[in-house]
Amino acid sequence: MALHLEPVLPGSFLGILGGGQLGRMFTQAAQAMGYKVCVLDPDADSPAGSIAEKFINADYEDVKALKEMASLCASVSTEFENVPAQALDQLESLGAFVAPRSGCVSLAQNRIAEKKFLATWKSETNIGPAPHFVIEHDADIAHVPEDLLPGILKTARMGYDGKGQITVQNREELSAAWNQFARVPCVLEKRMDLDFEVSALAVRAYDDTVVVYPVSQNIHRDGILHTSTVPAPSLQPEQEMKIIEAAKALIRKIDYVGVLCIEFFVLKSGEIIANEIAPRPHNSGHYTMDACISSQFEQQVRAMARLPLGDTRLLAPVSMLNLLGDLWFEDSGNQAKEPAWNKVLAHSDAKLHLYGKAVPRIGRKMGHVNCLGETLDAARATCAAVASELG
């Protein structure tokens, strides 16, 4: 990449593909810094589209829409990995600075490519993917090594929040699960004995500067992130250093510009496994909005505007609680209530973020609360209190 482009300064338009909550928080960060934002999303009712200066309501591959975006925006990024690589390439060929570039995004679109990449990276960092086997043909089922069972069958594409995954105990169940996925390309992963899960959020600038945020410890419920806590309570300092060094090496290796999240498993044996990468700000990095000098969304702005990166320092221990649409429903399943926001807002150290989604649904991410504390225990106690008050 030629190193001669000037930064894009406030007053200019920045473009984002995707208008969900990540696009919305990006838009808010960009606007706070004086930028204008253009959002492209096929959904007419998108959380980011409703607050952006310019909303283009069109498909990601709509050439006219991409031309409009490229003519308005000097720089474009994406809020999710499943944007067609072609759209990013097209924007680049139309003269926009695209960060991250399409090759980095496609790597995260396909678990087969992702695992292959993570495996090659192991020799450098000593952190590799879980043992796995690619399933693309009928015959592959018989060749799955016995020691990968029990395992988790994951579709190569379009999996998120635990969707596109089935746990299988034996070859018979594996075969049935693959049929259930209509025999699309899949990866069978050995079911690992997890001690806990963490993620690292790395940012790389146009000039090759890399910063990494403090590692967060993540708890999932039903495959969806529930809480992220920083500093990670169970992580040893040397494990955190190893993860941070690995994240730096990886982001440089793929020549990535922007915010990149890497999920890791820490096994009962102490071994660290790289699970998956997300080429964008991540739910487990929402804590940075209130607990760090620069949020992950400000970093996304800085990276795509070719500015120096912000400081990632943690200002206070924090525990982030996700707010799912489930909170709007009574146990009977009928939509019956507005969550008790007054109780959340009564905590002076809890920061409420709602994404402006009109319709709550079970499992839908509606917002989050960052619970800060003078100590880690205080932050976790506030998080537990907020969870029980809303529950």
Q: Which residues bind to Mg ion, rule: CB under 5 A?
A: 263
Rule CB under 6 A: which of 151-210 touch ligand ADP?
A: 152, 159-162, 189-192, 194, 197
**What are the tokens at 75?**
């720089």
274 binds ligand ADP (CB under 6 A): no
Binding-site partner at residue 162 among Mg ion, ligand ADP, none, CB < 5 to 8 Å by type = ligand ADP
140 binds ligand ADP (CB under 6 A): no
Considering beta carbons, is residue 98 or 198 the nearer one to Mg ion? 198
Site string for ligand ADP, 349-368 (x = CB under 6 A): --------------------
290 binds ligand ADP (CB under 6 A): no
**What are the tokens at 141?**
């089922």
220 binds ligand ADP (CB under 6 A): yes
**What are the tokens at 280?**
């964008």
Under 8 Å between Cβ of 81 and 71: no
Of 334, 353, 344, residue with least CA distance to 391: 344
DSSP H or E stretch at residue 221: strand 216-221
Of 7, 223, 233, 308, the one binding ligand ADP (CB under 6 A) is 223
**What are the tokens at 336?**
């019956």
Under 8 Å between Cβ of 216 and 261: no
Nearest-angstrom CA–CA distance, 154 and 162: 9
Is 213 marked as a binding-site residue?
no
Nearest-angstrom CA–CA distance, 64 and 306: 26
Rule CB under 6 A: which of 248-267 touch ligand ADP?
A: 263
Total of chain residues touching ligand ADP, rule CB under 6 A: 17
Helix/strand/coil for 271: coil
114 binds ligand ADP (CB under 6 A): no
| Shortest Å distance, C-beta 71 to ligand ADP | 35
Nearest-angstrom CA–CA distance, 199 and 277: 9
Helices (H), 51-137: 63-72, 85-93, 102-109, 111-125
Residue ranges of the binding site for ATP: 111, 154, 159-165, 197, 220, 275-276
Binding site for ligand ADP (CB under 6 A): 130, 152, 159-162, 189-192, 194, 197, 220, 223, 263, 275-276
